[in-house]
Amino acid sequence: MADFWAALMALENCGLIEFIPHVFESDGPEAEMLHAYPVKDGVCEPWERRVAIAAHAAGFICLTPGQRQWAIEQARHLLPAPSHITRLAVIGIARLRYRPQTRMTAAWFAKSKDRSEAWQPVYEMIAGNDGAVGQIA
């Protein structure tokens, strides 16, 4: 496996692939993907970044002032989760920077956009749309 990981790192270092964190119901093989949660600007789609910022703001608003300070100091990325999801997982998915222009790729990105657009208003409602956090660190 050492050769595989070395090759994967070489592709990432060359900028040919990028890892985008995604939120899943669990780390199990049958877990449903909720949405992307990119933590860096520029390596994601605009809707992915918007839902990540909304999720972080919603998570931030749920904390006490002391917890908020700790989260800022530790540069934590926050996300409130529904109570029925007990094993939430954030898993990086490798994507080609230069994606093929195929129907399957377009369908995957359309579904990703739909998921993000479904979760964003939920997070905005939790955060109260007050923009208390701003950008993810």
pLDDT, tens digit (0-9, with 9 covering 90-100), for 72-115: 999 999 999 888 888 999 999 999 988 899 999 999 999 999 99
Q: Bridge-partner residues for 126, per DSSP?
A: none
In this predicted structure, what is the pLDDT of residue 134? 46
Residue that is written with structure tokens 């918007």 in the block: 50
- Can you state the angle between helices 46-61 and 103-127, rounded to 10 degrees? 30
Paired tokens of 94 = 């490798």
Instruction: Report if residue 137 sits inside a domain.
Output: no
Domain assignment present for 8: no
Question: Has residue 1 been placed in a domain?
Answer: no
Domain annotation covers residue 17: no
Helix (H, G, I), strand (E, B) or coil at 73: helix
Range of the domain at 108: 22-90+100-127
Task: Give residue-wise pLDDT tens across range 20-57.
Answer: 999 999 999 999 999 999 988 777 899 999 999 999 99
- Tell which residue, 65, 49, 61, 70, has the closest CA to residue 116: 49
Residue 100 CB neighbours (<10 A) = 9
pLDDT at 130: 52
Q: CB count, 10 Å around CB of 133?
A: 20
In a domain, 117, yes or no: yes
Tally of domains within the chain: 1
* 53 within a domain of the structure (yes/no): yes
> How many whole angstroms separate alpha carbon 62 and alpha carbon 112?
26
pLDDT for 129:
64
Bridge partners (DSSP) listed for residue 92: 21
Given this model, what pLDDT does residue 40 score?
Answer: 82
Domain assignment of residue 133, yes or no: no
Q: What is the pLDDT of residue 137?
A: 46
State how far the Cα of 124 lies from the Cα of 55, in Å rounded to an integer: 8
pLDDT at 6 over 50: yes
